[in-house]
Structure 1
Amino acid sequence: MNDEELADAFEGHRTHLRAVAYRMLGSVHEADDAVQEAWLRLERADVSTIANLGGWLTTVVSRICLDYLRSQASRREGPMEGHSDLPTDTPDPETDAVLADQVGSAVHILLSTLSPAERLAFVLHDLFAMPFEEVASVMGRSDTAVRQLASRGRRRVQRPEATSSAADRRTQQKIVDAFLSASRNGDLQQLVDLLDPDVVIRADGAAVTMGSARVTTGATAVARTFSGRALGARLVAIDGYAGATWSTHGELKVAFAFTVDGSRITEIELLADPEVLAALDIGEVS
């Protein structure tokens, strides 16, 4: 593909990419910047290795937006409300009108209440009808985790008055904290008691290269995997919910994302891909 063909192919995806970025960022100017950055990365990429250009570009734009949202949160900047950033004299006013109509009044809720990961899962699946399998590929997360993120985002958007899940988060934090403690102490029975009988560990490709099994199922097998193994793990908040991280020499190596249903852990994701780690919203537990 020569330069002209590549530019034409990119232009064919521009409107979709701009819409995704606008849904994520709530700003036409910032959306345009994200799309332009995606073009620059495409120019530097080996196009012959890209089997699905549209999917590749969606992934790149999504991760650019996640990076921006994380940096915005670290600066404690407030999200923009409504459509105050929507210009009337842009080169493509028709597209801007479509964007404004599509986003509607939910944009403020999206920007002010959803974590970056919840926002992306909700936007791609609920607003752009991407299958969960594709969203999971974009985010580098499991289907189950993406479904949960999208579900949380959906509940917050549909029922903003019922979005305070502080009690649920405290319960999850206690369960994950107890799991890490039992792991450090090698308490196999306590680990089993905290796990759903059908619990599953899913490791991404980077974690597999570090020695993890790609998939481990069943409470006993998962408990044995973690028994005595969490000595260096630290309890953190991942995408607003309790998780854990493991670092060496101050560098984050692995994130453990937990899915808790009721009082038991149903899934643990081992995430070691640097791009995925960079896109996670990791903070201190409250």
Structure 2
Amino acid sequence: MDEPATEAFLAHRNLLFTVAYEVLGSAADAEDVLQDAWLQWAGADHEHVRDRRAFLVRITTRQALNRLRTLQRRKEAYVGPWLPEPLLTAPDVAEDVELAESVSMALMLVLETLSPTERAVFVLREVFDIGYDEIAAAVDRSPAAVRQIAHRARRHVDARRPRRRVTADESRAVLKSFRYAAETGDPQALLAVLAPDVVLMSDGGGVKHAALRPVVGAERVARMFAGGIGRFAGAFTTEPTLVNGHPALLVRMGGEVDGVMALSVENARVTGLYYVRNPGKLTHLTSETPLTLR
């Protein structure tokens, strides 16, 4: 393959990874998709590709859709709740409000409720602002059908995501309060920072202990934390970090990384706790993953 074609792929690699990750919710699968996209790009007739970025996004989306259907079968056999694979991200991801929202744990979980085609269309249209004709070519549908799918997916997502964007300062303030409450196991401090209808989801993947169903309600979540911290007094510590563009906590037990806890915040309280403990999903926490919408 000629050097300009190689350079074109490398120039758009971060964009292609972001597309694949948002369609799949899995960094490991997104990396595999990029390998397949690279092979397809290597065998393409580059002289007849008018828009290399559009072509690369198209083949990446197709590969991601194929992978997503396989991934869905794996999720059906998954032990307990399935959470997106967390990514350690740089401050510039958090500063890009649109990007940070698009990769937030809360929105990624909403995208899990869409069909594969709906998810791909929503991501390409609403996140990356790609035209209907290009999306149609990527998902093998007509532009008119894509418009309908986009409208349906947008309505579905809008009904389930937070109505107001939370600033980074608000998130950090709530995270600080939650961190103190979680490390001390103080029930009153926990109740003060948790929303009444808070939902705790923990993902152990059958490898680490985790609740097999979401835990709903401030009192139930507070009791779980208070009881758990009591059993691991002195061994449970947390460290602020940035995961998927948002403040989160890296959790250690006896000095060893146990998992990562992402938060959803509304009205200065925690509405969602997403605790990923599955070791297979913690491989992207050692170095920052570059993400981009462009």
Scaled by the length of structure 2, the TM-score of the pair is: 0.47
Select the structure with the greater relative contact order (CA < 8 A; seq sep ≥ 6): 2
